[in-house]
Structure 1
Amino acid sequence: MNYRHSFHAGNSADVVKHSLLIALVRALQQKPAALTLIDTHAGSGLYDLEGETAQRTGEALEGVVRALADGSPLLDDYRAAVNAVNGDGETRLYPGSPLVLAQLLRPQDALILNEKHPQDVVALRQAMRGTPAAIHQRDAYELWLAMLPTKTPRGLVVVDPPYEQTDERARITATLAAAQRKWAHGVTVIWYPLKERETHEKWKQQLRRLGIPKFLTIEHWLFDAEQPGVYNGAGLFVVNPPYAFTQGLPPMLEALRSALAPEGHRGSLTAEWLNP
Structure 2
Amino acid sequence: MNYRHSFHAGNSADVVKHSLLIALVRALQLKEGALTLIDTHAGCGLYDLGGDQAQRTGEAVQGVLRAFADPNPLLDDYRAAVQAVNAGDEPQLYPGSPRFLAQLLRPQDILILNEKHPEDAYTLRGVMRDTGAAVHERDAYELWLAMVPPRTARGVVVVDPPYEQTDERARITATLAAAHRKWAHGVTVIWYPLKDQATHWKWKQQLRRIGIPKLLLVEHWLYDSEQPGIYNGAGLFIVNPPYAFTQALPPMLEALRAALAPEGHRGEIISGWLGD
Shorter-chain TM-score tier: over 0.9
- Please list every run of 5 or more consecutive structure 2 residues that lacks an aligned counterpart in the other structure: none
Higher alpha-carbon deviation: 86-95 or 166-175 = 86-95
Q: Deviations over 1:21-58 (max 9, x none)?
A: 00000000000000000000000000000000000000
Q: C-alpha distance in 2, partners of 1:194/1:10?
A: 17
Residue of structure 2 in register with 1:89 after alignment: 89
* Contiguous gaps of at least 5 residues in structure 1: none
- The alignment-based identity, stated in percent, is 79
Matched letter for residue 258 of structure 1: A
| Partner in structure 2 of residue 57 of structure 1 | 57
TM-score under structure 1 normalisation? Answer: 0.99
Match of 1:104 in 2: 104
Aligned twin of 1:191: 191
- Pairwise CA RMSD: 0.5
Q: Does 1:37 align with 2:31?
A: no
Quick check: 1:115 aligned with 2:98?
no
The alpha carbon displacement at 1:88 in A equals 2.7
SS of residue in 1 equivalent to 2:246: helix
Name the residue aligned to 2:162.
Answer: 162
Indicate the residue corresponding to 1:75 in structure 2.
75
**CA deviation vs aligned residue, 1:83-130 (integer Å, no higher than 9, x gap):** 000003231100000000000000000000000001100110111021
Does 2:126 match 1:153? Answer: no
Letter in 2 for 1:26: R
1: CA distance, partners of 2:128 / 2:234: 26
Indicate the residue corresponding to 1:234 in structure 2: 234
1:38 partner letter: I
Counterpart Cα distance in 1 of 2:125 and 2:225: 41
The corresponding residue for 1:203 is 203
Alpha-carbon distance in structure 2 between the residues aligned to 1:200 and 1:143: 25
Partner of 2:180: 180
Query: What SS does structure 2 have at the residue aligned with 1:248?
Result: helix
Aligned partner of residue 71 in structure 2, secondary structure: coil
Count of residues paired in the alignment: 276
The 5 Å alignment of 1:119-138 reads 119-138=119-138
CA–CA separation in structure 2 for the residues paired with 1:3 and 1:144:
20
Q: Secondary structure at the match of 1:94?
A: strand
- Deviant stretches of 4+, over 4 Å: none
Structure 2 equivalent of residue 267 of structure 1: 267
Structure-1 separation of matches of 2:89 and 2:221: 31
The Cα of 1:206 is off from its aligned counterpart by: 0.4
Distance, in Å, in 1 between the alignment partners of 2:83 and 2:240 is 30
Residue identity matched to 1:15: V
Instruction: Name the SS of the counterpart of 1:31 in structure 2.
Output: coil
Mapped partners of 1:180, 1:70: distance in 2 = 38
